Amino acid sequence: MALQSLTPGVARAAAAPQITFSTDPHLPPLLDEARRLFSGDPVILRQIAGAAGGFAVNLALAGLILWITIWASGVLSRMTARGIHRAHRGQHPDTTLQTFTASLVRYFVVIIGLVGVLQQLGVRATSVIAVLGAASLAIGLALQGALSNVAAGVMILILRPYRIGDDVRIDNHEGVVKGMDLFSTRLSDPDNLTLFVPNSKAFGEMIVNLTAPAARRVAFDVPIDRADDVERARGLMLEIARADRRVLSRPAEPWAHLTSISDSGLVMTLRCYVAPGDYGNALSELMWAVVQRFRAEGISIPYPHQVAVESRPFHPPRALAAQMAADADGAGEARSFAPRNGPAPEGHA
């Protein structure tokens, strides 16, 4: 009666015999489950299907979290850069601070997102923190140079020895600062080559900022002949410097004087101040103007003098030569009277 009240399909399914798979107590649990899986145990298959479905869902959620993390890191870094730009209130923004802080925010958001991805995949947060703690110690010992670059980058950001756009000289390498991140500073040298200077190297070496000062001093020497008028040469140098529109009157007026005396002549020195951007052209053009003006006014620029020494055989004076010849003749006569081997001449014992 109970089977007749059911539908035919359900009745056939209920009446069908159920296949059961018994466990083998002689096998380990893992091998026994593998045996049941390959035998087609529906219980094991349902468990695997459920686990695979749950893992697929967790994997999809982890991928979504990772995508959101990457998107959020870019958005937050740009918002940080814009916030720093607005904080200057119309003044020239500090591009170095913007770049450094934006990269720091991006890395921080990515780390948090990766922890969330691992936790979604089933890794406990406490385990992640423990692994990160142990890994940070190992990474800190293995990457001491990289971490020192990060610390040096923070110090450079705080002390501000240079900013993006400044012309600097670091470790005898000169260039314009094009960028800065947690690990290195990027320079563009006069040959249009890109130089990557580690922050620890930049912070540990002497940094010369060629853009920071309001004026840069131009100084060069010009030799003149000893017979030329020093005061006239000095006046010409000052006249040329004061006539150049790039020469500044502050922090000091142009200065020219006799500074040294060399083997070839007198050395005149000109010193004046120009803007940092005019330094190279001003130095070359002022030197050329001084040389041309000296030539036009008859003030000569001497060349270095050299003394040539020639060696030859020694010839004694005539008196000494005659005495030496007489001594040689006397020695020859004495040798001619010397006894020889054999009988002695008559009258000699």
pLDDT at 30: 58
Answer whether the bond into residue 317 is a cis peptide, omega within 30°: no
What is the CATH T-level fold of the domain 159-209, as seen in this structure?
SH3 type barrels. (2.30.30)
Query: Model confidence over 303-341: pLDDT tens digits?
Result: 776 777 777 776 667 766 677 777 777 666 555 545 555
Domain 46-142 falls under CATH 1.10.287.1260: yes
The residues pairing with 266 across neighbouring beta strands, listed in sequence order, are 224, 261
Instruction: Tell me which architecture the domain covering 216-296 has in CATH.
Output: 2-Layer Sandwich (3.30)
0.75 surpassed by pTM:
no
Residue pair 274/251 in contact by the 8 Å Cβ criterion: no
Q: Inform me whether the pLDDT recorded for 95 exceeds 80.
A: no
* pLDDT tier, 241 (very low <50, low <70, confident <90, very high otherwise): very high
- End-to-end Cα spacing for the chain: 182
Structural domain spans, the chain: 46-142, 159-209, 216-296
Query: Model confidence over 122-153: pLDDT tens digits?
Result: 767 676 677 767 777 776 666 666 778 888 88
Query: Residue-wise over 113-135: b if at least 16 C-beta within 10 A, else e?
Result: bebbbbebeeeeeeeeeeeeeee
